Amino acid sequence: MTESVIDIEEVRKRYRGGVEALRGVSLKVPKGQIFGLLGPNGAGKSTLVKILLSIVRATECRGEMLGKPVGDKATLARVGYLPEHARFPEYLKGEEVIRYVAGLSGVPRADAIKRSGELLEVVGMKDWANRRMGSYSKGMKQRIGLAQALVNDPEIVFLDEPTDGVDPKGRLEMRAVLKMMKEQGRTVFINSHLLGELEMICDSVAIMDQGKIVRQGTIADLTEKTRHYEIRVQEALGNMLLEKLKPHGVECQGELLTMYQQDAGRVQPVIDILRADGVTITSMSEARQSLEELFMETVGSHGPGAAMPPKIKQKENV
C-alpha cells in the first residue's frame, strides 16, 4: 500500500459567525505525489490547508500529517507553504524575501545564503535576484513564492492557488518547477479552482464542494467510468442503417457515432454493420470526459467564481 503523508478523518470547521467551511472531510494524500485539491471558490480548500498548518484551529480534527497528529508544532518545520494571494514586501529584493522567510523558519544563516542561491536557480530567477519584488511580474513573484516555500527543505509543499493570475507562459514554467519538486521526493499539495492546470500535472485529485470531498482518486480512475467510443464516418448515415445500429447503443450526430460503453469488443459488430453497408470509417477513438466536465457534473454550476476554461476532451486512438 502507498504510504500517506496526510491521513485525516472527519475534519470539521465552523467559523465564528456560523459558516460551516468543512463538514466532515476525510482525505489521504499519498507520499511523493502531486496532489490536487479541486473545488469552486468557497469550497473550503484554504481552510483545510490552514488547519493542517495550524493557522486555523479545527472545530473537530482526527488524523495525522507526516506520522504526527495534526497540530504538532515540530512537524511544521517539515512543510513548506505558499499562501493564497501571497504578498511579500515590494521593497525587498527576490533574494532577500527568501532569506527573510528562511530566518522566520529558523534556517541557520549560512544555510539560508547557500539555499537561497540554489532556489533562485531552481525557479529560474537567478538573474533577477537583486531586483525588487515591486519590479516583478505576477509570474515572477509567484516563482519567488515557490522558492520561499522550499527554503526549509520541506517534505510536503502546500501551494494555495499558485497559478492564479499567472499568464500561460508563467504557468508552464511553474509546472516544470512543481515536477521538479516531485522528482526531489517531495509531496506537492496544490489547491486550485483551475482544472485545466491540474489535469496536466496531478497524480491524484480530490474534488471538494461545500465543505465535503465529493470524489477522490487518480485522474485516470475518476474519468474511467466515462470512457466511450467515437466512430467518424465519411457521410451521415441513412435511416435504415441507423435502425440497424440502434440495438447496439449507438447515438448518431451527423458523421459522428458515439457508444457509451467501455468494452471495445462491443464496438466491433457496429464496425461490421457499417462496413457491410459500404460505409467509409474515417476514424475510431476512445474518449473520456475531461476532469473539467467531471467536475462540472459533480459540483454543478452553483460554485461562485468557478472559472472554467473551454471544454477539451482527452482522446486516445485505439
Ligand X SMILES: Nc1ncnc2c1ncn2[C@@H]1O[C@H](COP(=O)(O)OP(=O)(O)O)[C@@H](O)[C@H]1O
Q: What is the footprint of ligand X within residues 167-206 (CB under 6 A)?
A: none
Residue count of the chain, please give it: 318
Burial of 196 (0-12, 13-18, 19+ CB in 10 A): middle
According to DSSP, residue 21 is labeled E
Please say which residue, 13 or 45, places its beta carbon nearer to Mg ion.
45
Number of chain residues interacting with ligand X (CB under 6 A): 12
Q: Site map for ligand X, 110-139, x if CB under 6 A?
A: ------------------------------
Span near ligand X by CB under 6 A; candidates 3-11, 14-22, 230-238, 273-281: 14-22
For 108-171, the three-class secondary structure string (H helix, E strand, C coil) is CHHHHHHHHHHHHHHCCCHHHCCCEHHHCCHHHHHHHHHHHHCCCCCCEEEEECCCCCCCHHHH
**Residue 289 interacts with, from ligand X, Mg ion, none (CB under 5-8 Å by kind):** none
Contacts to ligand X from residues 43-62, by CB under 6 A: 43-47
163 lines the binding site for Mg ion (CB under 5 A): no
94 binds, among ligand X, Mg ion, none (CB under 5 to 8 A by kind): none
Q: Is 63 in the site for ligand X (CB under 6 A)?
A: no
Q: Is 14 within 8 Å of 24 (Cβ atoms)?
A: no
Question: Closer CB to ligand X, residue 45 or residue 228?
Answer: 45
In 3D, which of 118, 124, 82, 75 has the Cα closest to residue 101? Answer: 82
How far apart CA 171 and CA 157 sit, in angstroms, is 17
Is residue 15 a contact residue for ligand X (CB under 6 A)?
A: yes
- As measured in angstroms, the least distance from the Cβ of 29 to ligand X is 17
